[in-house]
Structures are given as structure tokens and as C-alpha cells.
Structure 1
Amino acid sequence: MDALSNWLGGSGNSYGWAIILITFIVRLVLMPVMLSQLKKSTIQQEKLGSIRPQLNDIQKRQKEAKTPEERAQISQEMMALYKENNISMTGGIGCLPLLIQMPIFAALYAAIQYSELLSKSTFYGINLGQRSFTFVILTFLIYALQGWLSLQGVSEEQKKQMSSMMIVSPVMLAFMTYISPAGLGLYFFVGGIFACIQTLLINIMRPRIRANIEAELKAKPAKTVIAKESQPTVVKQPAKASAPKTHNRKRNAGKQRHKHK
């Protein structure tokens, strides 16, 4: 980090620009992977629309299920619906980009903690070694923008499902920025700018992805998974003891008396 700062001129803002350059390099390297995952996620979202009526019916019956056996059977039916239509239950989202970035988070945090020059350096008046409310606000806003961009071009039903993430993701990243030094906050903020760019690229690709999915569904319509009727359980009751046949006994006794006569 010191060498990169010196290469950038060694001025008061050089450490901040060094963090931006590192972020730029990391996100540029990760962009093909992240775009691929975003594309897969978009394909899964479009495919999900084709099984939405069946999925709604399954979810409704799952809420109305009264026994664990019924809930387990309906859960298996949902898994079969996803499997038969080649749809991932995770939405095609992987954690590889986050795992790759974890060493970068750790290295930046260690550099800020243990490098005296970096911990005391400033970036346009913001101390990179201390908490910065400016970056907390900027991080929240940039990821809120990214969430809003991700809702463009999707159906109203998908918007309802994705709208919760539009709030959760910016709040979570703003909190991470709040508990971190401003150097990491700068990393999160610049990463958010790249996330917006990636989302814009996916939005440009979405119409073509949708057209491909529609053509695929015309050639091979979504499969219907029919639930098996749950057979009612017959509980065998213990046989009741037969009541003494008083009438027959009386008839037999009459016959015996008639014989003796």
C-alpha cells in the first residue's frame, strides 16, 4: 500500500487514491464472474415467471397444511417443480465474488490498523483510519441506487419479492461501513459504483435474455408437477365385544323345554 501510494505521488490524498485503484483492479478482475452470476440470476428470475402459478398454489397449500407430513410432502413437490424445470432454488446467486474479496477486506483492515501512515492519512479531509459518517451515507445511497436499478425491467410480482433486498442490502453495507475505518468505507463506496455499472449492463442485456427464455419455453413449455392425493389414514378401531344374544338364548331355552315335554 505504501509503495502504491508513493507511486501515485505520495501526496496527502495518495492513500485514498491507492485504495480506489485497488478497488478498481479487484472489481475489474471480478467483473466477468459477477456479470456471469448476474446473468444466471436474471435467467432464473425469468424462468421463475413460467412456474409462478404452480408455485403460488404450492405455497398456499403449504400455509394451509396442518400436519408435518403434509408440509413435508408439499416441500418435496416444490423441490420437484424446481428440478423438473431446471430452476435453481438459490436463484443462481453464488458467493464466489464475496469469497475472493474477503482477503482484500482483511488486508485493507490490517493495513489501516497497523500502518501508522495509512491510519493517519486523509482523503480530501476524511481521516481514513477513523469512522466516517460521510462514507456511511454515500455507501447507503450508492447501494440503494443499485437496488433501484435492479428493479427496472422486471415484472410487478418480482418487484414485490425483490423490494425487501432493496432495503436490506444498503442498510447492511452502511452498517459495515459504520463499524469500519473510512478506508474500508471508501472501498465499499467505490465497489457500489461498480455494482451500479454491472446492474446497468444486465438491464441492457435483459430484453435479449427474456426473448431467449420465451423462445425456449415455446419449444419446451414449463413442466407441471401434479401433487399426489394424500390418502386418508384409516385408523382401525378395536373390535367391540359382542353383546350377549339374549333373544337367541331365550329361543334355545324354549326349544329345550319343548323337547322335555
Structure 2
Amino acid sequence: MKKIKHLGTLTAIASLALLLTGCVQRTKSGKPYGIIYDYLAVPTQHIMNWIASLLGGSYGWAIIAVTFIIRMVLLPMMIEQSRKATVQQEKMAYVKPQMTAIQKRQKEATTNEEKAAVSQQMMSLYRDNGISMTGGMGCLPILIQFPIFAALYAAIQYSPELASGTGSLFMGFSLGKPNLILAGLSFIVYLLQGWLGTLGIPADQKKSMMSMMIVSPLMIFFISFRAPAGLGLYFFVGGIFACIQTLIIYLYRPRIRASVEAEMKKNPPKVVVPPAPVTPAQPKTTTIAQEHDENRKRNAGKQQHHK
């Protein structure tokens, strides 16, 4: 399940990078055009211009305001998706013995028929116990953010105000040019968010999450470093919201765990495959010669005692 979820997340991030860099075209004179630019970037530019006019002409504060609005709108849905993922993690603990047995059979399978049968058992284990193969997160949060990322990227990249320098300076750096500091801050805040996501979960699940805790921030750093600093500012502020969201779930986890425990007592996990048996300790074996030698020593001891 973890491999599927991680692969899906990486694919989504890679697709996002491709989308952001290739959907806006330019004429020979350099004028941008295309569906992303005409229907997403231009309206976003108008919104940012309007907000900037209310905030003293600062496009940095305008980007922060847009990020705040977007994240507040998405926050309930993101928390609900995180709650579902947490429920899935707690349920996984109850089927772990069966999962261990299936994983052992996977390693021992040699023929295609055996591998197919084990895969079918794995799917049945998830299905019969109401566990999602994708970890409960789903694709909806990522799909909703795709057009938002594309709109902000194109709006900042091709904004005349940011390109000309008017209102583009924020905290001493230009929002229209890549900025290593903002890219680094975005990396750090999402790395922190990934670490917060490992709090309160079992050690085996935490180990499987370590790779994504590094890979996702690295991808965000790569996108932020190559994009205008305005997008890095969006990622940085958005990462702060992501940390808050993760902390909310962490504080709520004991209640989720108690709810799952009550559900498991009422409806125990379905047994798809018996758990891996514990190998008993092998009894001590002795040869006839060893037994004869031990008897001889005991008899010698008795004779000395009688003397």
C-alpha cells in the first residue's frame, strides 16, 4: 500500500512540474497565450492586482493573501482527507499479523500462479477490512490544487508588474526572479511538515514514510528554485498551513485511535489468511553416546558420595 501511495504522490508532483512548465506558449514576439494563461493566469493576475492595490501596491502581501484564502478554503477538505488517512493507518495495525504472513508468502512465491494468488489475498485483506489501497488520501486534494498551482505559476511568471519590477520587491528580493532563500525555506517547512506527520504512528509505518518525507520537499525545492520567487513564497506560506493541518490531526489522533479501537471490538478484523505461526523453540536433542556419558558421570558422583 505504501509503495502505491508513494508512487502516486511522486507521479502527481512530477506531472505538476510538467504542467507548470509546458502549458503556456509564446508568440514570436514573446507574448504568452494558451488555455492556462488565458483562462487561469489572466484572472489570477487581475485578482492579485486588485489585492495589491488594497495592500499598498505590495505583490508579496497580495500573494500571501491569495495563499491564505486558498488554504482556508481547502483546509476543511484537507483535514478530512488527513483524518481518513489516519483512520487507515490505525486499521492497518489490526491486520499487521496477516499482512506479515502475506508478505512472507510473497517472498517465498516462485511461480506466477503463486504470486497472483498472494496478490489476490492482499487485495482481499484490504477489501474485507475496509482499508484503502491508497491510504485513504485519494486524488481529489491534488487534482483541486493543480489548476491553482498552474494559475499562480503562470500569473507570476508572466505578470507585467513583476517582470517590470513595479511592486515586485518584497522583503529585499524580487518576486519575478528565482530565489534560493525562498526555495530553501519552502524545503525546510515541508520537511518539518513531513516530520510532524510521523508523530504518533507505529515505528514500522514511520520507517516506510521516511523516503517521502525527504522526496516531496526536494521536489518542491526543485520547482521553487526554477520558478519565480513569488511561487516560492506561495509554497512557503502554504507549507506553514500544511504544518498546522498536520498538528491538528496529531492532536486529534488519540480520539481517532479510540474510535477505531471501538469499531474493531464491535467488528473484529476479517481473517483472510492466518497470521504467520511463531516457530517454537527446538527441544534439546542428545545422542545415545552423550546420554551414556552423562549417566556414567552421575554414577561416579553417587559412588563418591557414598564413600
TM-score by length of 2: 0.71
Q: Does 1:69 align with 2:113?
A: yes
Partner secondary structure for residue 153 of structure 1:
coil
Q: After superposition, where does 1:50-199 map in structure 2 within 5 Å?
A: 50-119=94-163, 120=165, 121-199=168-246
Whether contact under 8 Å (1:20, 1:186) holds in the other structure is yes
**Cα distance in structure 1, aligned partners of 2:54 and 2:75:** 25
Residue 5 of structure 2 is matched in structure 1 by: none
Letter in 2 for 1:61: R
Whether contact under 8 Å (2:98, 2:273) holds in the other structure is no
Q: CA deviation at 1:100?
A: 1.8
Partner secondary structure for residue 143 of structure 1:
helix
Q: CA deviation at 1:172?
A: 1.4
Q: CA deviation at 1:109?
A: 2.0
Q: CA deviation at 1:71?
A: 0.5
How much is the aligned-residue C-alpha RMSD, in angstroms?
1.2
Q: CA deviation at 1:178?
A: 1.4
Q: CA deviation at 1:99?
A: 1.8
**Cα distance in structure 1, aligned partners of 2:91 and 2:181:** 40
Instruction: Structure 1: give runs of 5+ residues left out of the alignment.
Output: 228-261
Higher Cα radius of gyration: 1
Q: Deviations over 1:9-33 (max 9, x none)?
A: 11xxx10100000000000000010
Q: CA deviation at 1:95?
A: 2.1
**Cα distance in structure 1, aligned partners of 2:92 and 2:153:** 40
**Cα distance in structure 2, aligned partners of 1:155 and 1:226:** 22
Q: CA deviation at 1:112?
A: 2.1
Instruction: Structure 2: give runs of 5+ residues left out of the alignment.
Output: 1-47, 275-307
Residue 216 of structure 1 is matched in structure 2 by: 263
Letter in 1 for 2:249: I
Whether contact under 8 Å (2:178, 2:228) holds in the other structure is yes
Q: CA deviation at 1:103?
A: 2.0
Q: Deviations over 1:208-250 (max 9, x none)?
A: 00011111111111111138xxxxxxxxxxxxxxxxxxxxxxx
Identity of aligned pairs, percent?
60
For residue 23 of structure 1, the aligned residue among 43, 67, 82 is: 67
Q: CA deviation at 1:195?
A: 0.3
Partner secondary structure for residue 89 of structure 1:
coil
**Cα distance in structure 2, aligned partners of 1:113 and 1:202:** 35
Moved more, 207-216 or 168-177: 168-177
Letter in 2 for 1:8: L
Whether contact under 8 Å (1:151, 1:159) holds in the other structure is yes
Whether contact under 8 Å (1:111, 1:118) holds in the other structure is no
Q: Point out 4+ residue stretches in structure 1 off by more than 6 angstroms.
A: none
TM-score by length of 1: 0.83
